[in-house]
Amino acid sequence: MSPKLKSALELTGIYAIFVFMTVIILYPIVWAIGMSLNPGQSLYSSSIIPENWSLEHYKWLFTDPRSNYVTWYKNSMIVSGCAALFSVIMTSVVAFSFSRYKFVGRTSALYTFLILQMFPVMMAMVALYIFLHLVGLLDSLTGLILIYVGSQIPFNAWLVKGYLDTIPRELDEAARIDGAGHFTVFWRIVLPLAKPILAVVALFNFMTPLFDFILPSIVLNSPENYTIALGLFNFINDQFSNNFTRFTAGAILIAIPVAVVYLFLQRYLISGLTAGGTKG
Amino acid sequence: MPQHQEQKKLTNNQKKFNPNVAMVLSILLAGLGQIYNKRYMKGISFVILEIAFILATFDFLWLGLWGIITLGTIPGVDHSIYLLVYGIVSLILITFAIMLYIFNVRDARKQAILLNNGWQPPTFKQAIKNSYDKAFPYIMTAPGLVLLIFTVVFPLLFAVALAFTNYDLYNSPPRNLVEWIGFNNFKDLATVPIWQNTFISVFSWTIIWTVVATSFQIVVGLILAVLVNDKRVKFKKTIRTILILPWAVPGFVSILIFAAMFNDEFGAINRDIIIPLIGGNGLPWLTDPTYTKIVLIMIQTWLGYPFVFALFSGVLQSISSEWYEAAEVDGATRLQKFRNITLPHVLFATAPLLIIQYTTNFNNFNIIYLFNEGGPAVQGQNAGGTDILISWVYKLTFDTNNYSMAAAISLIIGLIVSVFAFFQFRRTNSFKEEGNI
C-alpha cells in the first residue's frame, strides 16, 4: 500500500468518525426541535419531522394564563444576574487581599478555601434548608442568591488570585509611590487588568444558577418563584407525556441564547480556566 | 564598648514596661495590657469591645452551649434542632473571640517589648492610619468571609453534627427531642442488613460511575482533539464548533430530552431505532438497572467530553512542532510520538482540571436524578438501582426525612472528597506567591 493511499484511507477514517459524532450530537437536538413543533401534546403521535408543524407550544408559553414561563425566565435572570454581579465583587475583593497582602491568617484561610471548594454545597442541604427556614429566607430568591454567592467564593477566589499573582507588583508599587491608597490601587490598577478573569467568573456564576436544579428545588416551593430549570422539570415531571412537547419548546427558548453565548465565549473560558487553574 | 554600655543604661532607664505583666493583664481583661503600656485609646477601645461582646452575646452563648451539649431536655418545649444551630453559631463566635483575644495578648506583650527597646509609640493620627493599613485586607475579606461562614462553613458543621444524632421523621422536634447517639448511624450502615446492602451497592456503583464515566469523557475528548489537530484535516473551525455543541446546550435540558428519548414505551430510541432494526418490544432502558447504568454513562460521556476536548485542543495547539520534528529525525513511530510528547504535555497542563472532573462526577446529582430519579427501584435496598451517594442523600433527606443518616452518608462523601483534595494540595504552589505589604 502506497503511503499516499494509506494517508487517504486514514483521512477518510477520521472524517467518518466526525460524521458519526455529528450524528450523535445533532440527533437529540434535532429531535427536540422537531418535538417542539409538533402540534399534539403527546409523544405517541409526534414525530421528528412533523407533518403539519405549528408554533402553538411557543405561543402557549407566552400567552396562556396558566403558563408561568415568563415569570420563571424573569426569576432566572434575576438570580443569575445578581449571583454574577455579587460574585464578581466579593471574589475580586477577597482575591485582591490574598494576592497582595501579607496578614495573619492568610495561609490558613487559603488552605481552608482549598478544602472547602472540594465540598459540594449539596452535602449540607439539610442544614441549608433548616438555616434558611430559621432566618425566613426559604422560598425566596434572596436566599438562593446568597447561597450561590457564598458557595462560589472558595473556588473563584483561588482562580482570581492565581490570575492576580501574574499581574506585576511593580505596578502597584509605582502607584503607591505616586500616592495611591489601598483602594485606589485595587480599583484603578488591579481591577482593570483583571477584567478577563472577572468575565470568566461572571459567566460561570451566571450560568450555574441558570442550569442548577437541586438548590432551587430545595429552597423554592411556590411555582411563581421557580427558576427556569425547576419550572421546566416540574412541567414534565407531573404528567410526562402530556407536557413534553411544551417542555421542549420552553427548553429550546432557553438553550439557544445560552448556546450562542457559550460558543462565542468558550475560548476565553478555557484560557481563563487554564491560566488560573494550573497555577492554583 | 562605650556605645554598648550607653545602650544598656538607656534600656535600664526606660525599662518601665514588663512584657509579662502586660501579657498577664491583657489575659485578665482585654485592653488592660495596652493601658499598662500607656496606649490609652487602644486599651480603652479594647476594654469596651470586650465588655460589649460579653454583654451582647452572653445569654445567647450560654443557651447555645447548653443546647449543643444537651439538645434540649423538655420534649415539646425545647427545639433540639434550633438549639443545635444556636450551639454551632456560638462555637463559631467563640472561635472568633478567642482569636481576637490571642491577638490582644500578643499585641500587649509585643508592644511592651518594643517600648522597652526605645520605640516611640505613634501619635493618635498615625496610629489610626497604621491600623487602617493593617486592617485593610481584613476589611476587604470580611463580607465574603461572613457570607462564606453562613452558607458553607456553618452548613457543613451542622451536617457533621447531625451525623451523630438520631434526627429523623420519628425523632423530630418540636414534638420529640433529638439525641446524640455517637457513631450509631455509621454502625447501622455497616451492620444492619438493609443499610449494609444499600450502602455497598450504592457505593460500588458510585465508584464505577465516577471512574468509567469520567475516563470515557477524557478519552473521547482526547481522541477527538488529536484527530481534529491532524494537519490534513480541513474545516477545523466548523468541526470544533459542532463537537463543542453538547457543552453549549444547558445540561438539564439535554438530560431531560435524553430521558424522553430513552423512555421504554414511547421514546425515540426504542421506537425509531431498536424496534425497526432489531425487532421485539425494545430494550428496558429505564426499568432495568443495568441498561439504565449503561445509558447514564453514555449520556455523561456525551455531556462531558466537549469540555475536555476544548481544553485539550487549546493545549495541543500550543505544543511546539519542533518536538515532533526532532522525534521524526530519530525515527519515532506515531504511537511513540503520542505517548512521549503529546500525552505528557496535555496531561501536565490539565491535571488539576481533570481531577476536578472526577470529583464533579462523583457528586453529579443532576444527571442521576433528572434522568431517572435514581431508579429503577431495586428489591432489598432503600435506594434506587442507579442512585449514587449524593442522590441517595437527597432522597433520604427529602423523601424519607431520615436526616441523620443522610448526614452520616454526607460525611462519608466528605471523607472521600478530601482524599481528592489531598492530591490537589500537593500540586499547589500558589502559597509561595506571598503578598509583600
Q: Is residue B173 part of a domain?
A: no
φ/ψ bin of A233: left (φ > 0), alpha (ψ from -120 to 50), beta (otherwise): alpha
Inter-chain touch A93–B156, beta carbons under 8 Å: no
Three cell numbers, residue B116: 522597652
Alpha-carbon distance of B46 to B51, in angstroms, equals 9
Q: What is the CATH number of the domain that holds B237?
A: 1.10.3720.10
Taking an 8 Å cut-off on Cβ atoms, the answer to whether A151 and B394 are in contact is no
DSSP annotation of A136: T
Structural domains counted in chain B: 2
Q: For residue B169, tell me if it sits in a domain.
A: no
Q: Give the Å distances, CA to CA, from A245 to A24, A238, B216, B271.
A: 21, 14, 32, 17
C-alpha span between B356 and A274 (Å, rounded): 13
CA B389 – CA A180 distance, rounded (Å): 52
Other beta carbons less than 10 A from residue A169's beta carbon? 15
Query: Which chain B residues are Cβ-neighbours of A273 within 8 angstroms?
Result: 311, 353
Q: Is the pLDDT reported for residue B351 higher than 70?
A: yes
What whole-number distance in Å separates Cα of residue A128 and Cα of residue A122?
Answer: 9
- Are B151 and A158 inside 8 Å of each other by CB? no
Among the three residues B111, B130, B162, which one is the final residue of a domain in this structure? B162
Neighbour-count burial of B412, counting CB atoms closer than 10 A to its CB (0-12 exposed, 13-18 middle, 19+ buried)? middle
Residue given cell 432557553 in the structure block: A254
The minimal CB distance from B152 to the residues A35, A116, A213 is found for A116
Query: pLDDT tens for residues B77-136?
Result: 888 888 888 899 999 999 988 988 888 888 888 888 888 887 777 777 887 888 888 888
With an 8 Å Cβ cutoff, is B101 touching chain A? Answer: no
Distance between CA atoms of A230 and A277, rounded to whole angstroms? Answer: 31
Query: Does residue B158 sit in the same domain as residue B191?
Result: no
**Whether B136 and B254 share a structural domain:** no
- Going along chain A from its start, the domains and CATH numbers come out as 3-56 (no CATH), 61-279 (1.10.3720.10)
Distances (CA, A) of B8 to A140, B12, B121, B162, B342: 69, 6, 20, 61, 68
A-B contacts (CB, under 8 Å) = 276
Q: Does residue B227 sit in the same domain as residue B111?
A: no
- Report the alpha-carbon distance of residue B172 to residue A126 in Å, rounded: 13
Name the B residues in 16-55 with CB < 8 Å from any A CB: none
Is the separation of the CB atoms in B286 and B375 below 8 Å? yes
Q: Are residues B101 and B196 in the same domain?
A: no
Whether B146 is in a domain gets the answer: yes
Contact at CB, B250 and A126, closer than 8 angstroms: no
Chain A CB contacts of B241 under 8 Å are 263
In this structure, is residue B179 part of a structural domain? no
pLDDT at B430: 44
User: Which chain A residue lies closest to B347 (C-alpha atoms)?
Assistant: A278
* Residues of chain A found within 8 Å of residue B272, distances taken between Cβ atoms: 48
Q: Is residue B172 part of a domain?
A: no
Q: Quick check: A114 and B427 in contact, CB under 8 A?
A: no
Q: Chain B contacts of A274, Cβ < 8 Å?
A: 311, 314-315, 349-350, 353
Q: From CA B146, how far away is CA B268, in angstroms rounded?
A: 50
Question: Given an 8 Å threshold on Cβ–Cβ distance, is A123 in contact with B413?
Answer: yes
pLDDT of the residue at B361 = 92
C-beta neighbour count of B245 within 10 angstroms? 18
- Within an 8 Å CB–CB cutoff, is residue B249 touching chain A? yes
Q: Which residue has the cell 465516577?
A: B210
B365-372 helix and B251-261 helix, angle to the nearest 10 degrees: 30
- Give yes or no: residues B146 and B250 share one domain: no
Mean pLDDT of B342-357: 82
| Same domain flag for B156 and B211 | no
- Flag whether pLDDT at B155 surpasses 70: yes
Residue B114 sits in the same domain as residue B221: no
- Of A110-114, A182-186, B201-205, the range with the lowest mean pLDDT is A110-114
Q: Are B384 and B309 in the same domain?
A: yes
In the prediction, which pLDDT does B428 show? 53
DSSP state, B123? P
CB contact under 8 A, B147 and A153: yes
Q: Do the domain assignments include residue B74?
A: yes
Amino acid at B293: K
Chain B closest CA to A52's CA: distance in Å?
19
ipTM (interface predicted TM): 0.84
Residues contacting B71, CB < 8 A, separation 6+: B78, B80, B83, B84, B165, B177, B178, B179, B180
What's the CA gap between B214 and A220, in Å, rounded? 31
Do residue B126 and residue B195 come from a single domain?
no
DSSP code of A225?
Answer: G
Three cell numbers, residue B250? 444547558
A251 neighbourhood in chain B, CB within 8 Å = 250, 253, 256-257
* CB proximity B134 to A under 8 Å: yes
Closest CA to B111 of B129, B96, B130, B94: B130
Model pLDDT for residues A160-219, shown as the tens digit of each residue: 988 888 888 888 889 989 988 888 999 998 999 888 888 888 988 988 888 888 889 889
B82 touches chain A (CB under 8 A): yes
Instruction: Looking at the complex, report in whole angstroms how far the Cα of residue A203 sits from the nearest Cα belonging to chain B.
Output: 13
**Out of B242, B243, B253, closest to residue A255 by CB:** B253
Shortest Cα distance, chain A CAs vs residue B223, angstroms: 10
Structural domain for B345, as ranges:
185-428
- pTM, two decimals, is 0.83
Closest CA to A129 of B394, B411, B384: B394
SS3 B383: coil
Q: Are residues B355 and B420 in the same domain?
A: yes
Same domain, B142 and B212: no
The chain-wide mean pLDDT, for chain B, equals: 84
Task: Tell whether B156 and B252 lie within a shared domain.
Answer: no
Distance CA B297, CA B216 (A): 8
